Copies of this chain bind each other. A is one copy, B any other.
Amino acid sequence: MTNKEIEKKLESKNVKPTAMRTLVYKTLVDSGKALSLADLEIQFEKVERSTIFRALKSFEDNFMVHPVDDGSGSVKYAVCDDDCTCNIHDLHVHFYCTRCGRTRCMKELPIPEMKLPAGYTYRKAQFIISGVCPRCD
């Protein structure tokens, strides 16, 4: 994805495309997997944790990324599809590889809707499957 495309994407989501935001978002897209704040920090050594943190938050607030808590100890962020509104119907299973620590969106596996007992309201869901991924097996 080119920088121009990234910038357009950010603008279309009402996020001003600053240099840092463009860079962070591009990194997420190009990596093809979910990245944590720490992962990103390592890639941009000169950039402040808080700056990356706030970039991620602005993406999250504007439905550009979704947080994935895969149990690794730090939340990872995965880019949303274009039409994602991060609600129940957009949710998919995430796979966490316990060998390499990579987290992948399993877009082909939507989270099944569950019939909750009376009185419970469904707002969001996380479905993480852990195991070993093909490249580690």
Contact = CB atoms under 8 A, between A and B. Distances in A.
Interface of A: 69, 71, 93, 95, 98, 106, 108-109, 111-112, 114-134, 137
A76 to B, nearest CB: 12
Contacts of A118: 134
B120 A134 contact: yes
A98 to B, nearest CB: 7
Contacts of A120: 95, 129, 131-134
Nearest to A112: B112
Contacts of A109: 114-116
A123 B137 contact: no
A109 to B, nearest CB: 5
A107 B1 CA distance: 45
